[in-house]
């Protein structure tokens, strides 16, 4: 089913007699396997409102991300949360949609500085499991009118409702980008270096470490003079950690971060891919204790991508570290055997189940995708 | 403003409620004598007062849990209270409720500069969170005007903002985790020092839920390195519309100031009399602040001033030193006090798309004439969060009602142009009955379904946020 309007979407859900598999562009098959009739939002397509002076955009959920980025680029603006393109890593084809990004709360390297996708969400319209159209939030930057279902829907993988429209906070695209790369062999020193950088006043908008190459990357963005000044400061701050190299050509710098964002290092390698959210200073200790074929640090150590042999239960090796592990890429058998999402405490599990039962009483929306 | 009729059965059993609470709390933690409970009869929305059944001041999460278990078992409503600075009546009691104050939960549990977070008890004041980390060069970003007094618990309940959220976001963008006690006394952890939720984003749902889903006793907050420096510039314009266009042009040019504050003529005149900050007498005044090193500030302010000049300002004043910067901020920071000198006032906080600014200001001027009540406008222009201050005389019969009617018209206007009823103060009781203007019944139903999950008996702050008519069946069914 590919409804063309929100009304058609609501009617389709109300009339559904069995489980539905909700999809946008189908480029992010993350989560436990889902059965059901495919319901695609791809035809809910178009930018409804864009006010560059107010930093806001309202779009239909099925709008291709590329269309949004093109419209923003014309006004020298962007989606600051830097959503990852999962296609290289997951080997998927198709057109990523904004609804998919919001449903999976997809956020890239800049998340460490400006927040996640959910932090740039101003409003939603969605259809719940009964076929009721619900709106929440709006299109203004500050809004505390009623409960924040906008955050709840972001990252709910279609299980509470099918998004029909989202409104986003957008931000100016800076003129320049520079990357400060430091040669650091030891993961623990790399995390310490990233903490020093993120704890400085020089507004680092990316902090990533690749153990395979022994390189720690830091990103600085802004107006030319400011970027030059802060790059110098950052180089001086990093000098005690290793040999420093600066990529001050904006295009070259941006290319480094596209690769980090899309985890292209693991794209052509066999094996499962896990995504760990950790307290940065715990990260190297946790990673050292894992059976793995590779690791990649982002968010200053707050996010670690791990490559393992197929079918390996990485979660069992985490111990009691604060954080969680999500299985992002694995074969169908592994995904059927290992839950994609990290188990939560009993109260949170009960509350989540209670919310799903309220929003989708027939359990027909992407049922079981999050466990 | 109506409140539900208090439950006579609960009032009748006050003695046993007090006795059971005393049994689970330290000696002086239950306040129940009539003259003492009066201290909790209102918050900063002083037009409405009602002494609670009693108030409790627990000193630990375990004691909060014990209080909630007792109230849950006895079917007594609980109104959580931070510092009582709500402008929306978020902490207004009912005669049959227990006020649960977190003021004695005010410690710092952990500071971690490598991972850039602080964990505090929720009764700690906003400003003292920054106070705990500033010697190490860090700060906590959300900065509501009441930051000297307001508690983190209330900030989380209302998802508080402040003047600097254009760059740093509001509470929800700076909250990493909480310890929360459910109405039945269950203690739970949500989030932590890591980023993002493992499953559904319950943290995002709790933030801004006005104390209706649980009582937060501890919070992990993101702290940020202090910028190298900051500098404001003051601009005066002959026309509101031109000032509004200037704001839009600054944002479109790619400069992201940390704050853009706006004051209109009535507000400028009042603050000049009160604080004597040396503001120019004009129709609209903007204070724009940028951050960075000296050179970066020069670069950004250079661009901003160039844009401002195109709009023919009547005044452009750049702060040359800290003293001049303080003078530029002086009037803005004393604006509420200045308006209070003139008369009683009601402070609204509807938010509008920035593009609607001129229209909304014009309409507010017309409403002011129509109602015969003065209005001063002072607000965060970068994010469209307005703060119209409507002047009225609390001692004049009917004036409060007139003021509320005018306030309602202004908020309806905010919704009409694509905005919302409240940007940072919360709904409380103040905007409760206007929720139908912004939301369809099915929208409110979805929100109330969330409360059903967290607090099935509707005992936590039950008479707030939702129009009484909309929540009535739930509140009664739960009894």
Convert the pLDDT of each residue in B165-177 to its tens digit: 888 999 999 999 9
The residue-averaged pLDDT of A284-295 equals 97
**Alpha helices (H) in chain A, listed in sequence order:** 6-15, 65-74, 87-90, 98-103, 111-114, 149-153, 187-198, 224-238, 250-261, 280-288, 332-337, 346-359
Residue numbers of B between 433 and 452 with CB closer than 8 Å to A: 435, 438-440, 442-447, 449-452
List chain B residues with CB under 8 Å of A341.
198-199
Q: What is the pLDDT of residues B317-327, one digit of tens each?
A: 998 888 999 99
Percent of chain B surpassing pLDDT 90: 83
**pLDDT value, residue B240:** 86
For chain A, give every domain's residue range. 6-172, 176-261, 266-337
- Mean pLDDT across the stretch A329-357? 95
Confidence of residue B479 (pLDDT cuts 50, 70, 90): low
The whole-number pLDDT of residue A339 equals 95
pLDDT, residue B382, reads: 85
Percent of chain A that is helix, strand, coil (3-state, to 5): 35, 25, 40
- Enumerate the domain spans of chain B: 8-103, 108-225, 230-416
Which whole number is the average pLDDT over B256-260?
A: 90
Q: Do A145 and B114 touch (CB under 8 A)?
A: no
With a cut of 90, say whether residue B248 has pLDDT above it: no
Q: Are B283 and B269 in contact (CB under 8 A)?
A: no
Cβ within 8 Å, pair A144-B186 = no
What whole-number distance in Å separates Cα of residue A144 and Cα of residue B19? 38
Contacts for B42 with CB less than 8 Å, ≥ 6 apart:
B48, B49, B50, B84, B89, B92
Token pair 């709008």 is at which residue?
A: A63
pLDDT digits (tens, 9 = 90+) for A35-91: 999 999 999 999 999 999 899 999 999 999 999 999 999 999 999 999 999 999 999
Architecture of domain A176-261: 2-Layer Sandwich (3.30)
A266-337 shares the fold of A6-172:
no
| pLDDT, mean over chain A | 97
Q: Which residue has the higher pLDDT, A188 or B197?
A: A188
Residue of A nearest to B291 (CA): A201
Is A144 in Cβ contact with B158 (below 8 Å)?
yes
Q: What is the mean pLDDT of residues B373-380?
A: 91
Predicted confidence at residue A348, as pLDDT, reads: 98
Q: Nearest 5°: CA angle at A58, between A54 and A64?
A: 125
- Label residue B254 by pLDDT band (50, 70, 90): confident
CATH of the domain spanning A6-172? 3.30.465.10
Tell me what pLDDT residue B477 has: 80
Q: Residue A94: its pLDDT value, please?
A: 94
- How distant is the Cα of B257 from the closest Cα of chain A, in angstroms? 12
Task: Give the chain A residue whose CA is nearest to the CA of B419.
Answer: A140
Q: What is the CATH number of domain B8-103?
A: 3.30.43.10
**Mean pLDDT over residues A143-172, rounded?**
97
The DSSP secondary structure of A19-53, one letter per residue, reads -EEEESSS----SS---SEEEE-TTS--EEEEEGG
Contacts of A278 (CB under 8 A, 6+ apart): A286, A301, A302, A303, A304, A321, A322, A323, B194
Q: Is B167 on the interface with A (CB under 8 A)?
A: no
Strand partners, A22: A39
pLDDT of residue B454: 98
SS3 B262: strand
SS (H, E, C) A86-109: CHHHHCCCCCCEHHHHHHCCCCCC
Give the integer Cα–Cα distance in Å for B184 and B180.
11
Task: Give the model's confidence band at B395: pLDDT under 50 very low, under 70 low, under 90 confident, else very high.
Answer: very high
Give mean pLDDT, residues B26-33: 96
Q: What percent of chain A has pLDDT over 90?
A: 97
Mean pLDDT of B40-59: 96
- Enumerate the β-bridge partners of residue A326: A275
| Cα–chain center distance at A307 | 18
Find where tokens 């001027």 sit: B365
Interface residue B135 vs chain A (CB under 8 A): no
User: Closest approach of chain A CAs to the CA of B375, in angstroms?
Assistant: 22
Counting residues of chain A whose pLDDT is more than 70, the rounded percentage is: 100
Looking at 2.40.50.140, 1.25.40.340, 3.30.465.10, 3.40.50.720, the CATH number of the domain B108-225 comes to 3.30.465.10
Q: What is the DSSP letter of B418?
A: T
**Which residues of chain A are within 8 Å of residue B226 when distances are taken between CB atoms?**
201
pLDDT at B125 over 90: yes
Q: Are residues B443 and A136, on separate chains, in Cβ contact within 8 Å?
A: yes
Question: CB-CB: which of B158, B193, B203 is closest to A279?
Answer: B193
Write down the pLDDT at residue B113.
98
pLDDT in tens, A299-339: 999 999 999 999 999 999 998 888 999 999 999 889 989 99
B230-416 — its CATH code? 3.40.462.10
On chain A, the residues whose CB falls within 8 A of the CB of B420 are 138, 140, 143, 145
At residue B69, the 3 state secondary structure works out as helix
Q: Which residues on B lie below 8 Å from A106 (Cβ)?
A: none
Task: Calculate mean pLDDT across residues B408-429.
Answer: 96
CATH 3.30.70 correct for A266-337: yes
Mean pLDDT of A1-30: 97
């Amino acid at each position: 089913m590919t409804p063309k309007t929100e009304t058609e979407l609501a009617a389709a859900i109300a009339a559904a007699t069995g489980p539905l598999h909700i999809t946008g562009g189908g480029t992010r098959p993350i989560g436990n396997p889902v059965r059901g009739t495919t319901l695609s939002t791809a035809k809910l397509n178009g930018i409804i409102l864009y006010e560059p002076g107010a930093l806001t955009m309202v779009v239909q959920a099925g709008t291709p991300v590329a269309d949004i980025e093109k419209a923003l680029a014309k006004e020298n603006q962007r989606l600051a949360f830097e959503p990852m393109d999962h296609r290289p890593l997951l080997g998927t084809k198709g057109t990523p949609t904004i609804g998919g990004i919001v449903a999976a709360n997809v956020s890239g390297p800049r998340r460490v500085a400006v927040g996640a996708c959910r932090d740039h969400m101003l409003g939603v319209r969605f259809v719940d499991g009964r076929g009721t159209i619900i709106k929440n939030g709006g299109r203004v930057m500050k809004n505390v009118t009623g409960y924040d279902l906008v955050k709840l829907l972001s990252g709910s993988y279609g299980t509470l409702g099918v998004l029909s429209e989202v409104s986003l906070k957008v931000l100016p695209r800076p003129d320049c980008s520079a990357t400060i790369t430091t040669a650091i062999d030891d993961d623990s020193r790399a995390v310490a270096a990233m903490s020093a950088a993120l704890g400085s006043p020089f507004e680092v908008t990316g902090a990533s470490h690749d153990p395979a190459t022994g390189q720690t990357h830091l990103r600085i963005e802004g107006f030319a003079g400011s970027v030059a000044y802060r790059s110098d400061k950052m180089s001086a701050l990093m000098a005690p950690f290793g040999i420093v190299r600066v990529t001050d050509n904006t295009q070259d710098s941006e290319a480094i971060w596209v690769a980090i964002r899309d985890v292209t290092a693991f794209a052509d390698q066999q094996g499962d891919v896990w995504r760990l959210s950790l307290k940065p200073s715990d990260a190297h200790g946790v990673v050292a204790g894992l059976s793995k074929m590779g690791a990649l640090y982002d968010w200053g150590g707050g996010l670690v991508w791990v490559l393992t042999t197929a079918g390996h239960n990485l979660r069992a090796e985490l111990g009691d570290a604060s954080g969680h592990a999500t299985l992002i890429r694995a074969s169908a058998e592994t995904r059927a055997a290992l839950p994609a999402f990290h188990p939560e405490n009993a109260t949170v599990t009960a509350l989540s189940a209670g919310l799903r039962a309220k929003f989708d009483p027939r359990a027909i929306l992407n049922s079981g995708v999050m466990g | 403003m109506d409140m539900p009729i208090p439950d006579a059965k609960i009032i009748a059993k006050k003695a046993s409620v007090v006795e059971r609470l005393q049994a689970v709390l330290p000696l002086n933690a239950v306040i129940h004598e009539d003259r003492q409970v009066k201290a909790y009869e209102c918050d900063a929305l002083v037009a409405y007062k009602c002494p609670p059944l009693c108030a409790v001041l627990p000193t630990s999460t375990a004691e909060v849990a014990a209080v909630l278990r007792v109230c849950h078992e006895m079917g007594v409503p609980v109104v959580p209270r931070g510092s009582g600075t709500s402008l929306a009546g978020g902490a207004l009691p009912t005669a049959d409720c227990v006020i649960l104050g977190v003021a004695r939960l005010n410690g710092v549990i952990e500071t971690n500069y490598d991972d850039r977070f602080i964990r505090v008890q929720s009764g700690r004041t906003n400003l003292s969170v920054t106070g705990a980390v500033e010697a190490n060069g860090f700060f906590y970003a959300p900065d509501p005007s009441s930051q000297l007094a307001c508690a983190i618990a209330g900030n989380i309940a209302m998802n508080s903002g402040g003047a600097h959220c254009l760059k740093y976001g509001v509470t929800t963008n700076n909250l990493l985790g909480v310890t929360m006690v459910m109405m039945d006394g269950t203690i739970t952890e949500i989030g932590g020092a890591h980023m993002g939720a493992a499953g559904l984003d319950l943290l995002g749902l709790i933030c801004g839920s006005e104390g209706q889903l649980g009582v937060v006793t501890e919070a992990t907050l993101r702290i940020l390195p202090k910028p190298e420096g900051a500098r404001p510039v003051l601009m005066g314009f002959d026309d509101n519309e031109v000032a509004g266009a200037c704001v839009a042009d600054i944002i479109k040019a790619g400069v992201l100031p940390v704050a853009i504050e706006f004051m209109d003529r009535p507000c400028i005149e009042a603050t000049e009399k009160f604080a004597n900050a040396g503001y120019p007498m004009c129709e609209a005044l903007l204070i724009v602040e940028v951050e960075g090193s000296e050179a970066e500030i020069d670069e950004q302010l250079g661009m901003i001033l160039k844009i401002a000049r195109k709009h023919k300002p009547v005044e452009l004043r750049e702060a040359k030193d800290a003293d001049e910067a303080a003078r530029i901020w002086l009037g803005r920071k004393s604006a509420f006090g200045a308006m209070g000198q003139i008369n009683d006032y009601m402070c609204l906080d509807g938010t509008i798309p920035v593009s609607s600014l001129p229209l909304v200001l014009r309409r507010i001027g017309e409403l002011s004439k129509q109602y015969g009540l003065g209005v001063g406008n002072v607000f965060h222009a970068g994010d469209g969060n307005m703060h119209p201050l409507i002047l009225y005389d609390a001692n004049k019969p009917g004036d409060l009602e007139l003021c509320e009617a005018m306030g309602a018209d202004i908020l309806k206007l905010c919704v009409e142009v694509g905005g919302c009823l409240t940007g940072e103060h919360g709904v409380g009781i103040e905007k409760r009955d206007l929720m139908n203007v912004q939301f369809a019944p099915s929208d409110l139903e979805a929100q109330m379904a969330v409360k059903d999950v967290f607090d099935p008996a509707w005992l936590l702050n039950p008479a707030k946020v939702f129009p009484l008519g909309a929540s009535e069946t739930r509140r009664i069914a739960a009894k």
